[in-house]
C-alpha cells in the first residue's frame, strides 16, 4: 500500500516514516507540509492512505479531506494530530481513524490494517452521502493530472456538460465531476439556478438580455459568455436582477 505523509513538522513526518519502516509492507510515496501540497501529490502519486495532520498553515487537514472525498477513488484518511477536539469534524469527512500524537506504533499498525481490509465498495459507502453542511470556500478541479483549487468567490457560473460540470471564472473554464443539484444545495446563498443546466453567481449578474432567437440571457460581470434563462426560471431571475439594480 502506498502511504502519503502530511504534516507541517518535519520531525513528525520522519517519525511516521520510521514507524512504517518498522511495521513493513508499506511504501511512503511522498511527503507534504500542508493540505494544498497533499492534494497535488494525491493527483500524481495516487496513494492508498493518507496519514494526515489537522493543524497546518494554509489549507488544514480537514479542508483537504473534504476535497479528497470528491475524487472518484479517494484515498483512505487516517488523521494524526496532537489535538483531540477535532474528532467529530474528522469523522464527518469519513476518516478511518483518528490517532493522537505521539502516535503509538501499535495503533498506527491497527489503523493501516483496517485501511488495507477496506474494499473499494466499503470505501464508497463511507464517502459523503452528502449534506455538505459546511460550505466550501474552494472547488477542486483535476487539470491534466494536477488538482487545481478555484476560490468560490471567483466563480461566475456552473454549467452542466454531459457527465461533467464546467466551472466558469473570469479567465478560465474547468471541469469538475460534481452535480448541479449538489452544488445548488451547497451554495444556495451564492448561486441561483437559471436553467436546468446552469447556476450563476448572484453578485456577478449585471443584467438580462435577449439572444437572436428571442431567448432571455443573463449577462455576468467579467465574462463575455451569456447564459440562457429558461422560461421556468425567467420570472425569478427578473425579480433578482431588479433587486440587484435597486
Q: Is the pLDDT of residue 154 over 90?
A: yes
pLDDT band at 196; cut points 50, 70, 90: very high
Contact predicate 93/120, CB 8 Å: no
The pLDDT assigned to 53 comes to 97
Which whole number is the average pLDDT over 7-20? Answer: 97
Inform me whether the pLDDT recorded for 226 exceeds 80.
yes
* pLDDT band, residue 72 (cuts 50/70/90): confident
Measured from the Cβ of residue 206, the count of other Cβ atoms closer than 10 Å reads: 13
pLDDT value for 89: 82
Give me the pLDDT at residue 128, please. 45
Return the pLDDT at 118.
Answer: 67
Q: Out of 65-69, 81-85, 145-149, 208-212, which region has the weakest mean confidence (pLDDT)?
A: 145-149
- Whether omega before 92 lies within 30 degrees of 0, making that bond cis, reads no
Over residues 57-68, mean pLDDT = 92
Q: By mean pLDDT, which of 6-15, 87-96, 227-236 is the weakest? A: 87-96
Residue 199 has pLDDT above 80, yes or no: yes
User: How sure is the predictor about 147, in pLDDT bands with cuts at 50, 70 and 90?
Assistant: low
pLDDT in tens, 74-88: 899 999 999 888 877
Rounded Cα–Cα distance for residues 139 and 112 (Å): 29
Angle at 83 between CA 80 and CA 87, to 5 degrees: 75
- Sorted by where each starts, the structural domains of the chain and their CATH numbers stand as 2-126 (3.40.50.2300), 138-245 (2.40.50.1020)
Question: Which range among 53-62, 94-103, 145-154, 235-244 shows the weakest confidence by mean pLDDT?
Answer: 145-154
| Contact by Cβ (8 Å): 201, 187 | no
Reference 128, options 80, 65, 36, 79; nearest CA is 65
Q: What are the cell numbers at 148?
A: 487545481
Taking the C-alpha atoms of residue 76 and residue 85, their distance in angstroms, rounded to an integer, is: 21
Residue range 21-43, pLDDT digits in tens = 999 999 999 999 999 999 999 98
Amino acid at each position: 500500500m502506498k502511504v502519503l505523509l502530511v504534516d507541517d513538522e518535519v520531525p513528525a513526518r520522519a517519525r511516521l516514516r520510521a514507524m512504517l519502516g518498522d511495521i513493513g509492507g508499506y511504501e511512503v510515496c511522498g511527503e507534504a507540509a500542508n493540505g494544498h501540497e497533499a492534494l497535488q501529490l494525491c493527483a500524481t502519486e495516487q496513494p492508498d492512505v493518507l496519514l494526515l495532520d489537522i493543524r497546518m498553515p494554509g489549507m488544514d487537514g480537514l479542508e483537504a479531506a473534504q476535497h479528497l472525498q470528491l475524487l472518484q477513488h479517494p484515498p483512505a484518511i487516517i488523521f494524526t494530530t496532537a489535538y483531540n477536539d477535532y474528532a467529530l469534524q474528522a469523522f464527518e469527512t469519513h476518516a478511518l481513524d483518528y490517532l493522537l500524537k505521539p502516535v503509538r506504533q501499535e495503533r498506527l499498525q491497527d489503523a493501516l490494517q483496517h485501511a488495507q481490509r477496506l474494499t473499494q465498495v466499503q470505501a464508497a459507502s463511507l464517502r459523503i452521502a452528502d449534506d455538505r453542511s459546511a460550505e466550501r470556500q474552494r472547488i477542486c478541479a483535476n487539470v491534466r493530472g494536477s488538482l487545481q483549487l478555484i476560490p468560490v468567490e471567483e466563480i461566475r457560473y456552473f454549467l452542466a456538460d454531459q457527465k461533467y460540470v464546467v466551472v466558469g471564472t473570469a479567465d478560465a473554464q474547468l471541469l469538475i465531476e460534481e452535480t448541479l443539484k449538489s452544488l445548488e444545495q451547497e451554495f444556495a446563498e451564492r448561486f441561483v439556478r437559471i436553467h436546468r443546466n446552469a447556476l450563476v453567481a448572484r453578485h456577478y449578474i449585471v443584467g438580462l438580455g435577449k439572444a437572436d432567437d428571442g431567448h432571455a440571457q443573463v449577462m455576468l460581470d467579467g465574462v463575455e459568455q451569456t447564459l440562457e434563462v429558461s422560461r421556468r426560471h425567467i420570472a425569478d431571475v427578473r425579480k433578482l436582477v431588479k433587486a440587484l439594480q435597486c
